[in-house]
């Protein structure tokens, strides 16, 4: 844990962020209701990747078939939240119903009402969905964050009993090489 702390401080990017990490995250108490700054996820996941996987390790993925630490963090959050704080939002839902009704609620909760306006969930056929959003304006928009979304969708489908879930993210609005108009996640199972 000391290595991850040191790496987070190295990646903080400013004295103010270093102070926040020292005083609030490492030295203070955080409650489940504590609002954390958007930059914290990126710093934490990048630091964990470097410490656990080594320099140069991939910090993002485009498919649930290619794991990385941000993907696993999203997957873990879906599992944990389905058993605790969002239990009622997962209870007795099919994967299709969850994608249509619950995922938009959770997306707005995480990214805000303004970001939620661009979210589209489209059913393409039995066990096939397209989830799309325009997230370029989000402070935390990054390929790393897209990887946590892939993991969250995959983990939610696992918790909902979907057989052989797959999430593919070939269109990414924050891809530095070939940015798309919006982020698109193709979700399937069965």
The per-residue pLDDT for range 26-45, each reduced to its tens digit, is 887 776 667 777 788 778 88
Domains, the chain, ordered by start: 2-53 (no CATH), 69-188 (3.90.1520.10)
CB 89 within 8 A of CB 106: yes
pLDDT of residue 33: 67
Count CB atoms within 10 A of the CB of residue 123.
13
Average pLDDT over residues 54-68: 89
Residue pLDDT, tens place only, 108-167? 888 888 888 999 999 999 999 999 998 766 776 889 889 999 999 999 999 999 999 999
Above 80 in pLDDT, residue 184?
A: yes
CB 182 within 8 A of CB 117: no
d(CA 25, CA 99): 33
């Amino acid at each position: 844990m000391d290595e991850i702390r040191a790496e987070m401080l190295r990646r903080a990017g400013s004295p103010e962020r270093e102070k926040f990490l020292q005083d609030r995250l490492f030295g203070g108490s955080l409650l489940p209701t504590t609002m954390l700054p958007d930059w914290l996820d990126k710093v934490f996941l990048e630091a964990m990747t470097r410490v656990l996987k080594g320099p140069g390790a991939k910090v993002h993925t485009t498919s649930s078939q290619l794991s990385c630490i941000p993907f696993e963090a999203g997957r873990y959050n879906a599992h944990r939240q389905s058993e605790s704080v969002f239990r009622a939002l997962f209870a007795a839902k099919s994967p299709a119903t969850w994608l249509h009704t619950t995922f938009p609620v959770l997306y707005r909760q995480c990214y805000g009402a303004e970001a939620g306006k661009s979210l589209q969930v489209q059913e393409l056929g039995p066990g096939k969905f397209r989830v799309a959003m325009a997230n370029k304006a989000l402070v935390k928009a990054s390929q790393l964050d897209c990887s946590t979304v892939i993991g969250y969708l995959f983990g939610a489908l696992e918790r909902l009993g979907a057989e052989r879930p797959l999430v593919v993210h070939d269109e990414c609005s924050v891809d530095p090489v070939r940015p798309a108009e919006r982020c698109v996640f193709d979700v399937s199972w069965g």
